[in-house]
Structure formats: structure tokens, C-alpha cells
């Protein structure tokens, strides 16, 4: 009897009528969104690092004052501390604009394409690749998660 864990799980099986090219196209769309996820992470890195640097300026201002350089402390306060990173924007506003203007529309488009073209079954390309690369029956190559009772 075939192990029930063998074979692509129902949620990742290609629906009838979905072509190889459609699966490939949805896989490419998914990969592009994954790359966008990574870019978004870098944008959050930029946001947090820039914010941290701005907060660290408080210590620089304090030390410049203590070292007898009030004119330099004042320049840091007025020229850099709290400065927009691009005209009219702090980093949080850049993140918000990216999310609203690019990231969310991309997510919604990808979700809509999967819903319409593959009956909502995501990651078909990856699931089919997994199926071709695993060793059927091997305990470390199961098609899906295993449960403690087998």
C-alpha cells in the first residue's frame, strides 16, 4: 500500500487544465514577489539603521557639548538630527509609500493570479519540483509533514 505521505498533497496538486507554462509563469511571479520581500526587508533595515543613527546623534551632541565644542553640537542638532532622508520624508514614510504603492499591489496581483489561474493553489511549481527531486519512501523525503503517530 502506498504511504499516504507520498505524492503531492491535495493543496499543491495541479488542477485539471492548468498548463506547464501557466505553472512556470506563476512560479516566476512567486519568485519575483519573494525577491520583493527581500527588498522590503532591506528597506526596513534602512529604516531601522537610519533611525538608530539619528538616536545615536544625541550622544554625539552631548559629548561635543561636554568637550567644549558647542558650535559643533549645535550644527549636528540643526543640520543632521531629525533631518529628512529625502525631501519631505523620514524613513517610515518611505516604507509606507513602498508598501502602499508597490508591495501590497504586487501581493494582491500575485494572489489574484493564483486564485484565477490555479484555483487558489499556490507554489505549484515548487511542489512539482519537490516531487521530482525526492526519493519516494525515504523517511526524510516525505511529500508533506509527518505526524507523531506516523
- Please write the tens of the pLDDT for every residue from 77-102: 999 999 999 999 999 999 999 999 99
Contact 15, 138 (CB under 8 A): no
CA separation for the pair 97, 86 (Å, rounded): 13
pLDDT at residue 149, as a whole number: 58
Which of these, 95, 96, 109, lies nearest to 33 by C-alpha position? 109
Higher pLDDT, 141 or 104: 104
CA separation for the pair 139, 124 (Å, rounded): 23
pLDDT at residue 131, as a whole number: 86
Phi-psi label, residue 119: left if phi above 0, alpha if psi -120 to 50, beta otherwise: left
What's this model's pTM, rounded to 2 decimal places? 0.81
All three cell numbers of 148, joined, read 507523531
Contact 129, 23 (CB under 8 A): no
pLDDT at residue 11, as a whole number: 80
In this predicted structure, which of 69-73, 114-118, 141-145 has the lowest mean pLDDT?
141-145
Domain ranges (residues) in the chain: 19-120
pLDDT at residue 144, as a whole number: 78
All three cell numbers of 108, joined, read 494582491
Percentage of the chain surpassing pLDDT 70? 92
Residue 5 has pLDDT above 80, yes or no: no
Give the chain's length. Answer: 150
pLDDT at residue 136, as a whole number: 83
Query: How far apart, in Å, are the Cα atoms of 102 and each of 26, 36, 57, 106?
Result: 19, 9, 32, 6
Which residues does residue 86 pair with via DSSP β-bridges, in sequence order?
89
Amino acid at each position: 500500500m502506498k504511504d499516504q505521505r507520498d505524492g503531492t498533497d491535495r493543496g499543491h496538486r495541479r488542477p485539471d487544465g492548468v498548463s506547464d507554462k501557466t505553472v512556470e509563469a506563476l512560479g516566476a511571479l512567486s519568485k519575483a514577489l519573494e525577491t520583493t520581500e527581500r527588498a522590503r526587508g532591506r528597506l526596513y533595515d534602512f529604516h531601522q539603521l537610519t533611525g538608530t543613527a539619528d538616536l545615536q546623534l544625541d550622544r554625539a551632541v552631548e559629548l561635543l557639548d561636554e568637550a567644549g565644542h558647542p558650535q559643533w553640537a549645535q550644527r549636528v542638532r540643526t543640520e543632521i538630527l531629525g533631518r529628512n532622508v529625502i525631501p519631505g520624508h523620514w524613513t517610515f514614510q518611505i516604507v509606507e509609500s513602498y508598501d502602499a504603492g508597490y508591495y501590497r499591489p504586487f501581493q494582491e496581483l500575485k494572489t489574484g493570479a493564483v486564485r484565477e489561474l490555479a484555483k487558489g493553489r499556490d507554489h505549484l511549481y515548487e511542489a512539482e519540483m519537490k516531487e521530482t527531486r525526492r526519493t519516494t519512501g525515504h523517511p526524510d523525503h516525505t511529500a508533506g509533514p509527518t505526524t507523531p503517530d506516523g
